[in-house]
Amino acid sequence: MASGGEGGQEGSSDIFSLGKETEQVTLADMSSEQSVYDIQNPGLQKCMEKITNLIMEEIPKAEYVSLLNDYVESEFFLIDGDSLFITCARELTLQRGQNLHFFYLVERFLLDLTSKGAKYVIVFFKDAEHIYYRNPDLLSLRTALITHLRNNTQTPIHTEFSNCLVSSWQNFLEENSPYFLIIADEGLDQLQTNFLHICIIHTLSKRINIVLTSGQESDAIRIYGYHIHSVYRLWHFFQQNEAKIKNLYQTLLSNMKKSSSEASLSLLGYPSLKTLTTKVYAKISSLQKEIEDLRYIVCIATCSLILEKYNQENQTSSVKQTKPALTLQEAGDLIRMYCLSVAFLHHLPLSQRAQIRLIKNKWNEETFMFIQQHKLCESAVLKDLATQTSWKIDFSALPDLSDNLLWKNIAFYYETEKHSGFDLDIGTKIKTDYELLWKHITTLLETFSIGGSFPLRITTKHFLEKKCLISKGEESKKAFINPGLIPITNTLVDEFTGDILTDLPFLKSDDPVIVSLKKQKEFDELRHWHSGKLLSDDYDRTKGEFDAKDPKALRNEQKLKTYQRFYGQTLEGIHSKTIVTQQDNPKKAYTDAKKSKKVHKTKAEMIIEENKKRRQAEEGKKEEHRWATLSVTIEEKIKENVTSGMKYLQEFLKNCQSASVKCTAEMAVLNICFGMWMECCDKGKISTNLSEAVEVMRIIQSVLINYDDLLKETDFQQIGKYLRALGFDNLAATLKYVKDFEDERKTLKRKVSKYAVGIGSSRFQLQYMGHYLIREDRKDPDPRVQHFIPDTWQRDLLDIVDNNESAVIVAPTSSGKTYACYYCIEKILRDSDDGVVVYVAPTKALVNQVWATVYNRFNKALPAGLTVCGVFTRDYRHDALNSQVLVTVPQCLEILLLAPHRQEWAKRIRYVIFDEVHCLGGEIGAEVWEHLLVMIRCPFLALSATISNPKHLIDWLQSVKRYWQHTEAKLAPNSPAVKKGGKGKKSVGMQKESYKVKLVEYGERYNDLEKYVCSLKDDDFAIDHYHPCAALTVDHIEKYGFPLDLSLSPRESVLLFDAMVKVRENWPGKHGLDPDEFFKDKIIITKAEARQYEKQLKNTLEMWIKHGLRNKVFLISRQLIGILISLLTVAVFH
């Protein structure tokens, strides 16, 4: 990608020569400088070979994986800046000299990472700079890239580290704990490859994984790459050879410094750029008040430096020239053309620059050397500008400082095309800017004169090699013989291509190619050409139905139905529901009971209501008798095992319809559980999780929430007594009918030490009852759902189905999103006997589960030959095309939708349900999900618990629906129904079309998830709780805050508060965030309130960091992780 340095002489031994223009960028040929690569010490040479061999052994084992987690926030990682640089410089679409395109490639790569939620920093090591001195064009481009990233982007960048072995880099890794490092395994030459290999082996030894830059790919959702895991043997190798590796690196570094010094001395006559720095600073300082444009500043300073250098060489004529060099006047000609190209950049739009010719003539040897000297000076100028503090410089033009192709075009014009009658008209504005540049350049040349700005060429020197170019006509004749496209007529192709086809050549109708394609007739191929057998598809070839005439097959059919019913009941425990097809009367939309108007009841309705109350009273007596019978059994089971006994009680309460009986049962069990707690306290056998006390508190909360209006005064007094005994006097005081008698208080005071749990009521609820905290559910039932009261977001789903709309549903696992699917299935079954709903699941195991659930849930009397539920997988199908509910996998649905002979069935589809739709971004089979979402024309429900960018998905799906809306609007006038024009009776199955795609999000899990780590302890496996905050670094919290997906359980919130208090004992705000103060006198702490408490703790930690208490937050992380650090270390290396 050498800007201006494409190609010295082929076969030249010059250390600055590059290959052909069309080849990839490589560093200069060092055939004459093999000492740079040579490692004289045999031991160090063997060590380098061992490092390379270890890496080469690990590369084939690398896993090709998604680098960023799609569903949660990405891990923090590092990018090696030089690996990014050489990867983009090697891009096949990049032609040398196109600096602007190079910067586009870099920013496109980083934007792709950022848009997918990546968190990273870029690191450029100082020592790597010495590698590029042999190719100053790359050195200048690298300097420009670093300056651009630091000044023009928000990308965090580090350049303060000399190399990967210094102590400051070790500290950086320990503080930030990156997950992996993106780095190249091969450099532009062997020296850089060795440098990268040392960095790779060091990184892997620090338990940081490696991702290779080669082979990375990206799609709309994911970024894929080859991931190398840190393993024990690499850590062990580095530990054993650390001193030798450091010695090896110092040898390589001395070789790099020697090479850079020789390159600088050969080009500019200075052993280093430090000598040049003083001159650069003086020239830039003189331009500070006069020039503001960055291009012009760099151009003036660089050109004046290079002209001074050539003036000194011409004055020292006694020095023998070892290589051909330009004269001062010839250098002046090149500089004039360069200044003109810079002026062009300032005014020419990209649309015109994109049409620039690709000149295949290469710079000759003297000119190429001049350009390398020019780029070395440019690098020094850019470095000085980047360190300017007194001068506010706009670096926005940095990616487009120069265009080597434009410079070469100007040179080619003056050498080949300029003649009388054909002059270059550059315009007034460009001419003014060019003269301004030349004026400042000549002003800085204090001791000599180089001439005026015009004429542009003084000498007759040719700067380009003479090369015969093939004309476009001759080139096209060699490539094509009678070119042309076959004309076709297709609405879709015409709409997609637009006006492009008008400029393309087409074959005529009498062309032999067209004549050979004409057919005498159209036909539908129904049979195999070789055997005459009927054509079949994958559906026909799949193992299918039972033979109705085979008694054994009929018996197997009965066994299958019995098994499906049993399997479905074990999954949900819900009995089958009989569906009756709705008649032609349209179904009224559901209206909220609160909004409905009061209507006076008729006499018949009043009689029905009285009969209903009488039946409820009779049922209540039966429930009382049933409780009297089961109470003894339940008591025995609870005393035998609290957990299993409470499950038995919950089963009774679930089937009981009488609220008074439920209240009586729970009060009775409350007495039993408190008696067990007293017994445990008396015997000193209290469990670590205080299970008996938890059950007492849990039942108290349940009774107060569900039966507050049924409780008597004695019940409240009994509950208050139990709360005081547990040590929760503050909660007992909040109950109604409870009076604080002095004698009772004295009696309980003697027992408090015996039966009290020993902690505050709020801390007890958070620490031991987190999984029992009450969710704030709605109390008003929805007639569309019988078995539970849906939340607001679930009612929105039901409304979407009622309105025949599409939706993407993003909600955690077990949150209840599947109920909307079952409601959708029920709706289709009620509407008609021919409508079909398709349930798409990603795996056969899930297909079997849904099949059994639907089979158990719904029952319907259908005409002969039809059934409620069918299944179709690649291995098996049953009632697939004669069922109203088809459960299948994506590949099989695609087969049916694309099969020409299944289109009548496809037209019956009313709804499609996509379960686990995040498979759309999967590594295998993702394209099938995309095909289905594009092909279906009916509404759909897309369910997922884990989608990172649901709004982007919604936008895409809505665009698909808009396409179908537009297409069907065009097709509607030509449909058979419209042409017939009859006013027939509208079928119930015909639904109003809707093209809306809605997003329904719900982020709260029904149950909290806690993390545990399995590790080795005392030669045995141990499972220890791992606090999520222990996995975060201070820098991560400071830069990005707490990850959105990192939630704490109530117990973990208490642990975090305790760690904060322990680290900062004099913390002023600890009283306000103490659980017993934050939830003061709350007898029932809800899940939402616990989440608010968690949020307050996180905000407090972030405020600590902002106020300079980073060390305290770091100590909290260490406090939470505790002994797990050592355990994890042992686990990783075993």
Q: Are strands 209-212 and 223-228 parallel, antiparallel or unpaired?
A: antiparallel
The arithmetic mean of pLDDT across residues 1034-1051, rounded, is 86
Summarised one tens digit per residue, pLDDT across range 1093-1114 is: 999 999 999 999 999 998 999 8
H helix intervals, 707-741: 713-725, 729-732
What pLDDT score was predicted for residue 589? Answer: 46
Res 319 pLDDT > 60: no
What pLDDT score was predicted for residue 333? Answer: 93
Q: φ, ψ for residue 298 (rounded to 5)?
A: -65, -40
Q: What percent of the chain has pLDDT over 70?
A: 82
Beta bridge partners of 212: 183
Res 448 pLDDT > 90: no
Summarised one tens digit per residue, pLDDT across range 169-227 is: 999 998 888 999 999 999 988 889 999 999 999 999 999 999 999 999 987 777 889 99
What pLDDT score was predicted for residue 438? Answer: 92
Tally of CA atoms within 13 A in the half-sphere of 44 that contains its CB: 17
Neighbours of 33 (CB within 10 A): 18
CA distance 15 to 37: 14
CA distance 245 to 203: 13
What pLDDT score was predicted for residue 923? Answer: 64
What pLDDT score was predicted for residue 576? Answer: 64
Summarised one tens digit per residue, pLDDT across range 141-153 is: 999 999 999 999 9
What pLDDT score was predicted for residue 971? Answer: 77
Query: Two tokens at 28?
Result: 């200069």
* Residue showing tokens 């849906």: 790
HEC-encoded secondary structure of 473-537: HHHHHHHCCCCCECCCCCHHHHHHHHHHHHHCCECCCCCHHHHHHCCCCCCCCCECCCCCCECCC
The arithmetic mean of pLDDT across residues 741-761, rounded, is 66
What pLDDT score was predicted for residue 358? Answer: 83
**In the 8-state DSSP scheme, what is residue 464?**
B
Res 607 pLDDT > 80: no
Res 586 pLDDT > 50: no
Confidence class for position 275, pLDDT limits 50, 70, 90: low
What pLDDT score was predicted for residue 989? Answer: 45
Query: Two tokens at 212?
Result: 């290779």
DSSP state string for 131-160: GGGGSHHHHHHHHHHHHHHHHHS---EE--
Whether pTM > 0.75 for this model: the answer is no
Q: Between 8 and 1003, name the one with better pLDDT.
A: 1003
What pLDDT score was predicted for residue 1090? Answer: 92
Among 313-322, 614-623, 1025-1034, the least confident range = 313-322
What pLDDT score was predicted for residue 1131? Answer: 39
Confidence class for position 523, pLDDT limits 50, 70, 90: low
Beta bridge partners of 1024: 1013
Q: φ, ψ for residue 115 (rounded to 5)?
A: -65, -20
Beta bridge partners of 999: 808
Kindly give, in sequence order, each residue whose CB lies less than 8 Å from that of residue 288, ignoring residues fewer than 6 positions away: 390, 391
The arithmetic mean of pLDDT across residues 916-920, rounded, is 85
Q: Is the peptide bond before 399 cis (omega within 30 degrees of 0)?
A: no
Res 433 pLDDT > 80: yes
**What is the gyration radius of the CA atoms in the chain, in angstroms?**
40
CA distance 853 to 577: 12
Confidence class for position 238, pLDDT limits 50, 70, 90: very high
- In angstroms, the Cα distances linking 532 to 526, 528, 912, 1007 are 9, 5, 37, 61
The arithmetic mean of pLDDT across residues 396-412, rounded, is 91
Among 6-15, 206-215, 268-277, the least confident range = 6-15
Confidence class for position 38, pLDDT limits 50, 70, 90: low
Res 1073 pLDDT > 90: yes
End-to-end Cα separation, the chain, in angstroms: 46
What pLDDT score was predicted for residue 214? Answer: 92
Kindly give, in sequence order, each residue whose CB lies less than 8 Å from that of residue 335, ignoring residues fewer than 6 positions away: 303, 306, 307, 441, 450
Query: For the purposes of burial, counting CB atoms within 10 Å of the CB of 185, is it exposed (0-12), middle (13-18) or buried (19 or more)?
Result: buried
Q: Between 10 and 170, name the one with better pLDDT.
A: 170
Q: What percent of the chain has pLDDT over 90?
A: 34
Res 73 pLDDT > 60: no
Between the ranges 405-414, 549-558, 576-585, where is the mean pLDDT highest? 405-414
Res 5 pLDDT > 50: no
CA distance 1014 to 441: 70
CB 731 within 8 A of CB 1016: no
Confidence class for position 396, pLDDT limits 50, 70, 90: very high
Among 592-606, 1030-1044, 1073-1087, the least confident range = 592-606
Confidence class for position 875, pLDDT limits 50, 70, 90: confident
Confidence class for position 977, pLDDT limits 50, 70, 90: very low
The arithmetic mean of pLDDT across residues 641-657, rounded, is 83
Query: Two tokens at 115?
Result: 């848009």
| Alpha carbon 183 to its chain's center | 20
The arithmetic mean of pLDDT across residues 967-993, rounded, is 58
Res 982 pLDDT > 70: no
Cα torsion for 323, 327, 333, 339, to the nearest 10°?
70
Confidence class for position 288, pLDDT limits 50, 70, 90: low
Confidence class for position 544, pLDDT limits 50, 70, 90: low
Summarised one tens digit per residue, pLDDT across range 811-829 is: 887 777 777 788 999 999 9
Between the ranges 64-68, 643-647, 954-958, where is the mean pLDDT highest? 954-958
Nearest to 670 by CA among 649, 651, 684: 649
What pLDDT score was predicted for residue 169? Answer: 96
The arithmetic mean of pLDDT across residues 798-821, rounded, is 86
Confidence class for position 391, pLDDT limits 50, 70, 90: confident
CA distance 131 to 83: 13
Confidence class for position 901, pLDDT limits 50, 70, 90: confident
Confidence class for position 521, pLDDT limits 50, 70, 90: low
Among 827-836, 907-916, 989-998, the least confident range = 989-998
The arithmetic mean of pLDDT across residues 155-176, rounded, is 93
Summarised one tens digit per residue, pLDDT across range 250-260 is: 999 988 888 88
Res 638 pLDDT > 60: yes
CB 905 within 8 A of CB 892: no
Q: Which amino acid is at 392?
A: K
Summarised one tens digit per residue, pLDDT across range 357-368 is: 888 888 999 999
What pLDDT score was predicted for residue 506? Answer: 84
Q: 3-state DSSP call for residue 202?
A: helix
Res 767 pLDDT > 80: yes
Res 913 pLDDT > 70: yes
Neighbours of 405 (CB within 10 A): 21
Res 785 pLDDT > 90: no
CA distance 130 to 253: 8
- Crossing angle, helix 365-386 and helix 274-287, to 10 degrees? 70
Query: Two tokens at 960?
Result: 């698909």
Question: CA 709, 609, 778 angle in degrees (round to 5)?
Answer: 45
Summarised one tens digit per residue, pLDDT across range 694-728 is: 999 999 999 998 888 888 888 898 998 899 888 89
Res 341 pLDDT > 50: yes
Res 317 pLDDT > 50: yes
Q: Are strands 1020-1026 and 1011-1017 parallel, antiparallel or unpaired?
A: antiparallel
CA distance 534 to 556: 30
Summarised one tens digit per residue, pLDDT across range 1116-1125 is: 888 887 644 4
CA distance 1034 to 301: 44
Res 981 pLDDT > 80: no
CA distance 86 to 89: 5
Res 325 pLDDT > 70: yes
Res 742 pLDDT > 50: no
What pLDDT score was predicted for residue 271? Answer: 56
- Crossing angle, helix 713-725 and helix 691-706, to 10 degrees? 150
Q: Are strands 877-878 and 909-914 parallel, antiparallel or unpaired?
A: unpaired
The arithmetic mean of pLDDT across residues 592-607, rounded, is 61
Kindly give, in sequence order, each residue whose CB lies less than 8 Å from that of residue 935, ignoring residues fewer than 6 positions away: 894, 897, 898
What pLDDT score was predicted for residue 371? Answer: 93
CA distance 905 to 896: 9
Per-chain mean pLDDT for the chain: 81
State whether the Cα torsion 1063-1066-1068-1071 is positive or negative: positive
